[in-house]
Chain A
Amino acid sequence: MFIINCPYCGERDQTEFSCGGEAHIERPKQPTELSDDQWAEYLFMRKNIKGIQFERWNHIHGCRKWFNVVRDTSNDKIHAVYKMGERPPVK
């Protein structure tokens, strides 16, 4: 449980948000060309990092907008918040 600084609404409690998991997993550009292995990789395989992780969050009980968060999963400390489409901050 922690505070998230929504880029649209400001600081709110984490319970207002919904976590969308690992960020920057691109949807395959040509899905029809994909092998089953590549589909599995895209759909299911995750880094599940212990440490600094880039992830997506949705302010589901607020503005309902998606954005990205850089969070340390070993202590839940948030290092950066940035909007969808913006360049992720360098570590």
Chain B
Amino acid sequence: MSNKYSIFSLIKNALSGHENWQRAWRDPEPKKEYDAIIIGGGGHGLATAYYLAKKHKMNNIAVVEKGWIGGGNTGRNTTIIRSNYLWDASAGLYDHALKIWEGLSQELNYNVMFSQRGVMNLAHNLQDVRDLKRRTHANRLNGIDAVWLNTEEVKKFCPIINTSPNIRYPVLGGTLQRRAGTARHDAVAWGYARGADEMGVDIIQNCEVKGIKRNGDEVEGIETTKGFIKTKKIGVVAAGHSSVIANMAGIRLPLESKPLQALVSEPVKPIIDTVVMSNAVHAYVSQSDKGELVIGAGTDSYISYTQKGSHNIVEETLRAILELYPIFSRMKMLRQWGGIVDICPDASPIISKTQVKGLYFNCGWGTGGFKATPGSGDLFAHTIANDEPHKLNAAFNLNRFVSGDLVDEHGAAAVAH
């Protein structure tokens, strides 16, 4: 790598006032033709390009992004990473990603600040207890670390939780995945971009796709704001706007796009050193390295591309947060935002070929795609390069909506991802 980051490069650049750092990736104009084009320069898209170049030696490829890289949902999520999903197919997919996360900073020579601080999921009623215990057993059968904690153990692991039996939804216990945690979302996009660029991938920003050109049953290229670009393979990783691209290509997907909100508080001293999620009351919280509480809210219940979300959703989440953590009652919230998430009927993603030759979709991650970024990119790259899915994403094909072989994680995994 031409500008490998290390303690020495840090010292050298510190001595010259940090004015001589090389740029981390180029800013090329699109070529006339590529072997493959990835639509969407978020974490998943950039990871796909990175693994296409690295593992499948496809270097004449491009990533086109309508804004700037990592400026979409990659920068809007609450950065939670875990793999404790119920079904075998999901467990395989998300744990594949988690294993890559564990070595990602080294591989990319870029600190993605992956922090295995644990993710705890709380149970508030008897059915929650049964479901979460079942999930713990399923996880362990799949080789995923998971333990059940009773109320006292929950309190010991995260002392600021209100475990009084007298609250509206008392804490009856919870599950803990210790290998789970958080990472810095921007760094993930930047690290993959830098790695992909190094291998010759063109990352083209401010280039919006306006149309997909088809010749009968196969793709010919894309119309963009920077002109027509020819290609035989298109990988779409457009998150909430996947259906917009699908409509351009003349196909339909089983997706609905909805605003999902998150918010952060003013920064405070370290108070919560793990991630706590509660699906029953729909509140999850962690603390960033800057000291802000990072709080995830729910989705609006109707299709919308407005990127803001309704006030009542935030209100419900904060109500739940306050009951679980009375200590936060006087904290001020600094920022609130919404991103558009594409939700599948079974709350599982699609990493799949389509009926159009050369057109691939990686979408449907709904409210929880960030955690899967490295695995998603790896498996989607495999699917594009070989025109066949990897065994880990075979279950996540589009045809499952025809065969009925759904991977139903709606009730199973968690409402919030």
Q: Is chain B a partner of chain A in the same complex?
A: yes
- Stretch with Cβ within 8 A of A (4 or more), from B19-27, B148-156, B166-174, B247-255: B247-255
In the bound complex, residues from chain A placing their C-beta under 8 Å from that of B304 are 73, 76
| Interface residue from A1, A41, A44 paired with B312 (Cβ < 8 Å) | A1
Chain A contact-residue range equals 20 to 34
Interface residues of A in 51-85 (CB under 8 A from B): 53, 55, 73-76
Answer whether residue B243 sits at the interface, using C-beta atoms and an 8 A cutoff.
yes
Question: Could you tell me if A73 and B253 are in contact, using CB atoms closer than 8 angstroms?
Answer: no
Question: How many chain-B residues does the 8 Å CB contact rule pick out?
Answer: 26
A76 to B258, CA, bound (A): 12
Task: Pick the most buried of A40, A41, A49: most chain B CB atoms within 10 A of its CB.
Answer: A40
B252, B305, B401, B403: the one contacting A73 at CB < 8 Å is B305
Q: How far is the CA of A15 from the CA of B310 in the complex (A)?
A: 9
Question: What's the least CB distance linking B400 to chain A, in Å?
Answer: 9
Nearest CB of chain B from residue A91's CB, rounded to whole Å: 16
Instruction: Tell me if B244 is interfacial: C-beta within 8 Å of chain A.
Output: yes
Q: Nearest residue in B to A45 (C-beta to C-beta)? A: B252
Pairwise interchain contact B401-A46, C-beta atoms closer than 8 A: no
A46 touches B256 (CB 8 A): yes
A32 in the interface (beta carbon within 8 A): no
Interface residue? B303 (CB, 8 A): yes
Interface string of A15-30 (1 = CB under 8 A from B): 1001101000000000
Q: Which of B255, B301, B310 contacts A48 (CB 8 A)?
A: B255
Contact partners of B256 in chain A: CB under 8 A? 21, 46, 48
Which chain B positions have C-beta within 8 A of A87?
none
Instruction: Select which of B241, B253, B254, B310 is within 8 A of A1 by beta carbon.
Output: B310
- A47/B247 in contact, CB under 8 A: yes
Residue B286 at the chain A interface, CB threshold 8 Å: no
Q: In the assembled complex, which residues on chain B have CB atoms less than 8 Å from the CB atom of A43?
A: 345, 401
A50–B311 touching, CB < 8 Å: no
A37 at the binding interface (Cβ < 8 Å): yes
Residues in B neighbouring A39, C-beta threshold 8 A: 402
- Which B residues, 181 to 213, have Cβ-Cβ distances below 8 Å to chain A? none
Is the CB of B177 closer than 8 A to any CB of chain A?
no
Supply 17 further A-B pairs (C-beta < 8 A) apart from A44-B401, A74-B305: A1-B310, A1-B312, A15-B310, A19-B302, A19-B303, A36-B403, A41-B252, A44-B254, A44-B345, A45-B253, A45-B401, A46-B243, A46-B254, A47-B243, A49-B303, A50-B257, A55-B302
Q: Which residues of B contact A (CB under 8 A)?
A: 241, 243-244, 247, 252-257, 300-306, 310-312, 342, 345, 401-404
- For the complex of A and B, the 8 pairs showing the least CB-CB separation, nearest first, are A48-B243, A1-B310, A19-B302, A44-B254, A45-B252, A40-B402, A44-B401, A50-B305
